[in-house]
Amino acid sequence: MKVRFYDIGSVEDAKLFYAVTAARYRGGWIWVRHKERVTWEMPGGRREPGEAILETARRELYEETGAVRYRQVPVCLYSVTPEGGAESFGGLFYAEVDELGDLPDSEIGEVAFFDGEPEALTYPQIQPFLLEKIRQAARPEPGESR
């Protein structure tokens, strides 16, 4: 598995299929657990047709965490290439969450907060690289409020 990072705007928008947000709340990193798994992942998911990648990031952050007040900023684009597979692209975002509401009815079974990354990751060959990229960006100043 190979993870690569790209500057915003350097990959054709139509190629972006995923949005992932590394989010903090009250000093902890937000991780979510799918109802059908015992592992943890960052909030994120697939882009819907006609949706801007920032809207994907906002929608997924809300659907998977219940975040209702937050500041979110794009950090970079990334790609994942499985051994012998095709490269797929996504957007990586950072958010500071001020308020969490009720968790919407979705595939997420649990939201938890960690100082770093949990031991049991859903995507262990990808998520540590995404979190490290956020850390290298020195937690960029979140922009637009929601």
Q: Does residue 108 belong to any structural domain of this protein? A: yes
Q: What's the confidence (pLDDT) of residue 145?
A: 46
92 and 126 Cβ atoms separated by less than 8 Å: no
- Does the global pTM surpass 0.85? yes
Domain total of the chain: 1
Percent of the chain clearing pLDDT 90 (strictly above): 90
Compute the chain's Rg from CA coordinates: 14
Q: Model confidence at 33, in pLDDT bands (50, 70, 90)?
A: very high
The residue type at 143: G
Q: Does residue 80 belong to any structural domain of this protein? A: yes
- How is 51-70 classified by DSSP, letter by letter? --HHHHHHHHHHHHH-EEEE
Q: Does residue 143 belong to any structural domain of this protein? A: no
User: Residue 107 sits in which domain range?
Assistant: 2-136
- Which CATH number goes with the domain that contains 123? 3.90.79.10
**Predicted confidence (pLDDT) at residue 83 exceeds the cutoff of 70:** yes
Q: Does residue 67 belong to any structural domain of this protein? A: yes
Q: Does residue 144 belong to any structural domain of this protein? A: no
Q: What's the confidence (pLDDT) of residue 137?
A: 82
C-alpha angle 98/104/107, rounded to 5°? 115
Mean pLDDT of the chain: 93
Q: Does residue 120 belong to any structural domain of this protein? A: yes
**Predicted confidence (pLDDT) at residue 58 exceeds the cutoff of 70:** yes
Could you read off the pLDDT of 94-119 as tens digits, one per residue?
999 999 999 998 899 999 999 989 99
Q: Does residue 145 belong to any structural domain of this protein? A: no
Q: Does residue 122 belong to any structural domain of this protein? A: yes
**Predicted confidence (pLDDT) at residue 141 exceeds the cutoff of 80:** no
